[in-house]
């Protein structure tokens, strides 16, 4: 069995082997992902240990109390108080332990990266695309807000500078959405009337997929976006290009008409 497993792994690419080692979790691209990965691996370890224990007990009972060759029926016990207490208390303890580690890690992840992050982006999730507002960004003049906006046919891209703290403010003008970048190893709901936010520092250059992870209507499956982590100079050049295009905000959804690259995207309150 071990030899077969090694042979199977030998046929995988280095990327696939890395994915197997990480139990299918992507490599994190922010300074907040290490703890999330450790929590993920710990939860899998706990699940495997519990599985081994349960499977072992099932196997033991199947062999120990099987029907014998003399056709004698094993003793049928209506209840066993110690076992029933164990089966009640043990799951409760496991849930509490997992809850403790989850809350502890959450408290490390969600606080802002700093009192004054280098960049603030207001992310608007609307039926059925995304708008990214770069709020009074210092890469421009520190007073002008510019934005990227997408449609179901044109996926928008969120640009972020590597090595700089970023705060994302999440807004929705219509229904509940969920901002999910698998490479961030976390997701957060975008709820009308509630200002959710989280902070991080990008640590890995590249382009990464983003999705809405909350069923939000007819075209939910097309509510996609990209995240591009670039150098500071490329980030500043992109914001200046948005300014030249006239994408000057803020664009927060609702009933305004936003224009980008000759395409008009009307975002109405009813989501049409």
* Neighbour tally for 103: CB within 10 Å: 10
Task: Pick the closest to residue 118 from 77, 153, 162 (CA basis).
Answer: 162
Contact between 125 and 102 under an 8 Å Cβ cutoff? The reply is: no
**Structural domains of the chain, ranges and CATH numbers in brackets:** 25-109 (1.10.287.90), 119-266 (2.60.40.420)
Task: Supply φ then ψ for residue 202, to 5 degrees.
Answer: -65, 140
Contact between 127 and 215 under an 8 Å Cβ cutoff? The reply is: no
What's the confidence (pLDDT) of residue 109? 82
What's the confidence (pLDDT) of residue 259? 39
Q: Which two tokens stand for residue 214?
A: 């909350």
- 157-161/166-171 β-pairing: unpaired
What's the confidence (pLDDT) of residue 16? 63
In the structure, how many helices (H) and strands (E) does the chain have? 5, 12
272 residues of the chain, pLDDT tens digit each:
555 555 555 556 666 666 677 667 778 889 888 888 888 888 899 999 989 988 998 898 888 877 777 777 767 777 778 888 888 898 899 899 999 999 988 888 887 655 788 899 999 999 889 999 999 888 888 889 999 998 888 899 999 999 999 999 999 998 999 999 999 998 999 999 888 899 999 999 999 999 999 998 899 999 999 999 999 999 999 999 999 988 887 888 754 434 333 343 433 333 33
Does pTM surpass 0.85?
Answer: no
What's the confidence (pLDDT) of residue 35? 87
Contact between 213 and 190 under an 8 Å Cβ cutoff? The reply is: no
């Amino acid at each position: 069995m071990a030899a077969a497993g090694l042979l199977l792994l030998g046929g995988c690419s280095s990327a696939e082997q890395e994915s197997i080692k990480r139990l299918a979790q992507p490599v994190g691209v922010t300074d907040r992902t290490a703890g999330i990965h450790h929590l993920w691996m710990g939860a899998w370890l706990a699940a495997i240990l519990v599985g081994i224990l349960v499977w072992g007990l099932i196997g033991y009972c199947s062999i120990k109390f099987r029907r014998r060759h003399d056709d004698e029926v094993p003793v049928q016990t209506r209840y066993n108080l110690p076992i029933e207490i164990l089966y009640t208390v043990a799951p409760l303890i496991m849930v509490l332990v997992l809850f403790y580690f989850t809350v502890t890690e959450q408290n490390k992840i969600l606080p802002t990266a700093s009192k004054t992050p280098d960049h603030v982006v207001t992310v608007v999730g609307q039926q059925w695309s995304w708008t990214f507002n770069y709020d009074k960004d210092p890469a421009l003049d520190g007073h002008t807000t510019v934005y990227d906006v997408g449609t179901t046919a044109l996926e928008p891209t969120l640009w972020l500078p590597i090595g700089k703290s970023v705060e994302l403010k999440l807004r929705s003008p219509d229904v509940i959405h969920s901002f999910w970048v698998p490479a961030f190893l976390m997701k957060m709901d975008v709820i009308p009337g509630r200002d959710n936010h989280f902070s991080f520092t990008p640590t890995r250059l590249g382009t990464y997929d983003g999705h809405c992870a909350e069923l939000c209507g007819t075209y939910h499956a097309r509510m996609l976006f990209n995240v591009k982590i670039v150098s500071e100079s490329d980030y500043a050049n992109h914001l200046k290009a948005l300014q030249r295009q006239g994408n000057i905000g803020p664009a927060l959804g609702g009933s305004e008409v936003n224009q980008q690259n000759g395409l008009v995207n009307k975002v109405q309150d009813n989501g049409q």
